[in-house]
């Protein structure tokens, strides 16, 4: 009796092995599949088998070792009935669907397919690694101090995004597109439920109002850009101080400046005249000098007379 049982087991197992080994049935799952938290994820694995193949068993083993079996209703499939097992004969694929994908669903899923033409286990490619991602919240950006910045002031900017998975990163750019990421410091916090919270701190030692625009970008765990936030540093507005001057005071200034400049002009005129007056006084000739002056005048008059005669001679000369 014991012998027949053993023989039966060997026979049973060997028929499976032959069927699996002859290559009539094969399953090719993708190695990695990405699911998004809160959304539906379906793992699909194409099956290669004769077209008239009949599926006898299909089950999936989840990372938590639960087994989901074809033919059992979704409600029976555990975790609040989120899982469903299927076989699509037209597409020739086996699948495992899960609604409301959760972080805990991440890991290796193994399938087992038994048909009338052979069977395939996870050793033969019936397995998938599920990676779960969660999109980060739209980042928030702010500066300290927040406003009334002065030129050359040291300003620290912050950029924060949370509820993402897996770990992502934050990049910084200025208005010219210069990448400042390497000057920033990022801290990563893993909150309850395995979510990540990213916070990046970027300090500008000498802020300038001519380059006041900054942008931070959140790169999700899968390397995709997930969100951007922009900030224009708020400098103290110089326009406000000029507005303090009322029209009346401007008019008063004009009047005052006008009278001051008139005064200066008058002073300048007097100054120009006074030296002349002084010169005249200083130059009051002494007696001898006056005589010399008279002599000089007489000489000049004589010379002029001579010249008159001279020119006449010259005219005569040219007439010759």
Ligand X SMILES: *[C@@H]1O[C@H](CO)[C@@H](O)[C@H](O)[C@H]1NC(C)=O
C-alpha 152/C-alpha 156 separation (Å) is: 13
Nearer to ligand X by C-beta: 16 or 180? 180
Using CB under 6 A, pick the residue from 26, 36, 129, 181 that binds ligand X. Answer: 181
Nearer to ligand X by C-beta: 51 or 182? 182
- Give me the least distance between CB of 112 and ligand X, in Å please: 43
Whether the bond into 246 is cis, omega within 30 of 0: no
- Give me the least distance between CB of 181 and ligand X, in Å please: 4
C-alpha 8/C-alpha 14 separation (Å) is: 10
- By three-state DSSP, how is residue 43 classified? strand
- Give me the least distance between CB of 226 and ligand X, in Å please: 14
**Count of alpha carbons within 13 Å of 82, Cβ hemisphere only?**
16
The residues in 140-179 that bind ligand X, with binding defined as CB under 6 A, are 171, 179
DSSP class of 101: -
C-alpha 19/C-alpha 121 separation (Å) is: 12
Tokens coding 109: 């899923």
- Give me the least distance between CB of 185 and ligand X, in Å please: 12
- Give me the least distance between CB of 171 and ligand X, in Å please: 5
Site string for ligand X, 216-255 (x = CB under 6 A): ----------------------------------------
Nearer to ligand X by C-beta: 183 or 262? 183
Nearer to ligand X by C-beta: 26 or 201? 201
DSSP class of 179: B
By rule CB under 6 A, what count of residues binds ligand X?
A: 4
Nearer to ligand X by C-beta: 135 or 171? 171
Contact status, residue 101 vs residue 38, Cβ threshold 8 Å: yes
Nearer to ligand X by C-beta: 120 or 219? 219
Residue with tokens 């070792």: 65
- Give me the least distance between CB of 215 and ligand X, in Å please: 11
Using CB under 6 A, pick the residue from 182, 241, 243, 248 that binds ligand X. Answer: 182
Adjacency order of strands within the sheet including 213-219: 169-174, 213-219, 225-232
Contact status, residue 89 vs residue 113, Cβ threshold 8 Å: no
Whether the bond into 252 is cis, omega within 30 of 0: no
Binding stretches for ligand X (CB under 6 A):
171, 179, 181-182
């Amino acid at each position: 009796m014991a012998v027949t049982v053993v023989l039966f087991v060997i026979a049973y197992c060997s028929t499976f092995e032959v069927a699996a080994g002859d290559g009539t049935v094969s399953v090719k799952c993708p190695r990695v599949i990405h699911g998004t938290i809160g959304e539906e994820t379906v793992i699909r694995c194409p099956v290669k088998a004769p077209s008239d193949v009949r599926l006898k068993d299909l089950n999936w083993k989840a990372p938590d070792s639960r087994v989901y079996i074809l033919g059992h209703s979704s409600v029976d499939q555990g975790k609040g009935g989120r899982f469903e097992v299927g076989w699509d004969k037209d597409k020739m694929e086996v699948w495992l669907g899960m609604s409301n994908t959760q972080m805990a669903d991440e890991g290796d899923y193994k399938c087992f397919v038994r048909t009338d033409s052979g069977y395939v286990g996870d050793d033969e490619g019936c397995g998938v690694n599920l990676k779960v991602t969660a999109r980060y919240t739209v980042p928030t950006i702010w500066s300290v101090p927040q406003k009334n910045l002065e030129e050359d002031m040291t300003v620290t900017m912050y950029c924060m995004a949370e509820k993402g998975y897996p770990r992502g990163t934050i990049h910084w750019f200025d208005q010219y597109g210069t990448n400042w990421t390497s000057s920033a410091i990022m801290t990563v916090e893993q909150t309850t439920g395995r979510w990540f919270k990213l916070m990046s701190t970027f300090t500008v030692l000498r802020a300038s109002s001519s380059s006041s625009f900054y942008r931070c970008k959140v790169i999700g765990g899968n390397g995709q850009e997930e969100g951007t936030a922009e900030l224009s540093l708020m400098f103290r507005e110089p326009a406000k101080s000029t507005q303090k001057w009322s029209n009346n005071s401007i008019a008063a200034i004009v009047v005052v400046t006008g009278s001051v400049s008139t005064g200066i002009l008058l002073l300048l005129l007097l100054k120009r005249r006074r030296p002349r007056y002084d010169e005249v006084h200083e130059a009051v000739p002494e007696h001898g000098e006056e005589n010399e002056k008279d002599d000089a005048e007489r000489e000049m008059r004589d010379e002029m007379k001579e010249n008159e005669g001279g020119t006449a001679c010259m005219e005569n000369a040219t007439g010759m």
